[in-house]
Amino acid sequence: MTIKKKIEFFVEKSSVNYKIPKHFTLEVIPYFVKQNIDKVLDFGAGRYLILTKILVKHFSEVLVVETKKQREDIFKRHNDFIKNHKLKILEYEELKKSNQSYNLILLSNVLHIVPFVEKRIEMLNTIEEKLVLGGYLYIKCAGEKISHVLNVNHKRKFGDGYAFIFRQEKGMFFATFRTGFSLDYLNSFIPQKLMLHKKFKVNSKEISIVYKKV
């Protein structure tokens, strides 16, 4: 299996169990609550549903989009939570075929693990199509300084970031990917109908910003 195939295969199964930044609960959520938003999509929520569990406390309708493998894992881990909150979990292909639209879409800790530029562009175009006019896209991603990746052994330069390869049991390999963004580089991926609306954090380690569909 080539390095490209390894990354492509494993990246859809990767998930990061990260801590919720303070500014998300203290600034981001309160800002969107004030916008009278009702329908929210957590795009690439991950198997732990970290942000989703906050969103359901503040918004009347929350949906999740994930890959097929992640979706299966989410149902195993969070079956009671899903039932209690009537949470709907879509696969990406289902989202693209759906005629539903959303007031707010969150893309948190997703872009910097997508290894292929064309996939990022396709993903953001799909998101723009699913936003109502005046709707918001919140993006949180790694800044351009990705020192945690530079210190990892068994890494290779791949595209605009790094792939790191780990040998697993029975001769299997695990591969995943990280990159980072400056604000200008991130903006180069954003569809024209989405305008930069609000900056929560923009620095070399982290970008946390909002775009609005106009």
Q: Which two tokens stand for residue 83?
A: 């039932």
**CATH code (residue 204):** 3.40.50.150
- pLDDT at residue number 59: 95
Q: Are 29 and 44 in contact (CB under 8 A)?
A: no
pLDDT along the chain (214 residues), means of 10: 53 54 92 94 90 94 92 92 93 94 96 92 97 98 78 77 71 74 97 98 95 98
The count of other CB atoms within 10 Å of the CB of residue 53 is 17
Q: Which domain holds residue 81?
A: 23-143+181-213
- pLDDT at residue number 12: 47
SS3 128: helix
d(CA 101, CA 122): 17
5 falls within a domain: no
55 falls within a domain: yes
Q: What is the DSSP letter of 20?
A: P
d(CA 84, CA 8): 34
Per the DSSP assignment, residues forming a β-bridge with 40 are 62, 104
Number of domains in the chain: 1
201 falls within a domain: yes
Q: pTM for the whole thing?
A: 0.89
113 falls within a domain: yes
31 falls within a domain: yes
Quickly list H helices, 131-182: 147-150
174 falls within a domain: no
Angle (CA) 122 125 128, round 5°: 150
